Amino acid sequence: MAGARTRRQAAAEQQEAAAHAGNGEAQVTPRGADAVPESTENVFLFWPNIIGYWRIVLAIGALWYMPLHPRTCSALYSVSCLLDALDGYAARYLNQSTKFGAVLDMVTDRCTTACLLVFLSSAFPRWAILFQGLISLDFASHYVHMYATLAMGGSDTSHKNVDKSRSKILNLYYTNKTVLFVCCALNEAFFIALYLLSFSSPLLSPNLLKTVPNHAVEAIHRGAEVNSSLLSHIFTNPYSAGALELARANKMDSFWPWVFAGISFPIMALKQIINVIQLVKASRWLAEGDIKSRRERGIGLKKTA
């Protein structure tokens, strides 16, 4: 009996070995162990990323109300910005920090700020070139910094891991969560305040001193004749510029927007300086990599006699 049992065991082991060899596996799994399929995680449904999607929804709502409803727009935009801090906390607390989440967060920040600055460019045409410059600086600074981090630091390096030897200011900005939150929050607060002032301050918008005739008010309230095109059914009021003037004629109180603008202006200016530093440092880092790569390939070296 013992000999028969031994032969059966040997035959079973040979069959297992042959089966694993046919599958290209080098190790033999223990007999009797159930095969457990590898579990997969859906990164797109991580809670920090879900918060990021809600940020986008709120930002779209803010953009929808931006031309006509400054209070509603400001509330939606502010909540979207504040959720930026919540998704980072959720990522750390739930151990769900992902590269996709980092990119989603950065892209949402850049796009929402750019959209607000585009509106400010139309509200204050004289200063449009300044707002356009801020948009360009914001995008260029973060893109070059992100690219330099990936190219020079490796794909596993976060753009927030800035060594002190490279930049003490950027190290403090990215590693100190309080500094990062205050800079980003007050930077957005300044532009929101400026947006509200475009509806309330005759000093910045002299046309607010003009009164809107009653017949014009009634015409805007009734709405204009709607064309038969598809866009006219989606955007039922084609005279958004006139509606904007009517909304401005509501004479919002400009006191608190001026207060918020005055408090947040220094931090906004500091944020732009940090963007410049980030752009310069990242560009130099890329240039260092280019020089190193050229030397390794023997390009650009001075020939010695």
* Residue environment code for 209-228, b if the CB has 16+ CB neighbours within 10 A, otherwise e: eeeeeeeeeeebeeeeeeee
- Which H/E stretch holds residue 118? helix 99-123
Taking every pair of C-alpha atoms in the chain, what is the biggest distance, in angstroms?
Answer: 110
Q: What angle do CA 47, 58, 208 make, to 5 degrees?
A: 155
Count the helices and strands in the chain (H runs, E runs): 11, 0
CB half-sphere exposure, 70, CA atoms < 13 A:
26
Please, are residues 123 and 248 in contact by the beta-carbon 8 Å criterion? no
Residue with tokens 């009164």: 211
For residue 55, give the H/E element and its range: helix 47-65
- In angstroms, the CA 198 to CA 252 distance is 10
The reply to whether 34 belongs to the active site is no
Phi, psi angles (nearest 5°) of residue 253: -70, 130
Could you write out the three-class secondary structure of 125-187? HHHHHHHHHHHHHHHHHHHHHHHHHHHHHCCCCCCCCCCCCCCHHHHHHHHCHHHHHHHHHHH
Phi, psi of 164 (to 5 degrees): -60, -35
One of 84, 109, 156, 290 is an active-site residue; which one?
A: 109
Instruction: Dihedral sign for Cα 15, 18, 22, 26, please.
Output: positive
Catalytic positions:
109
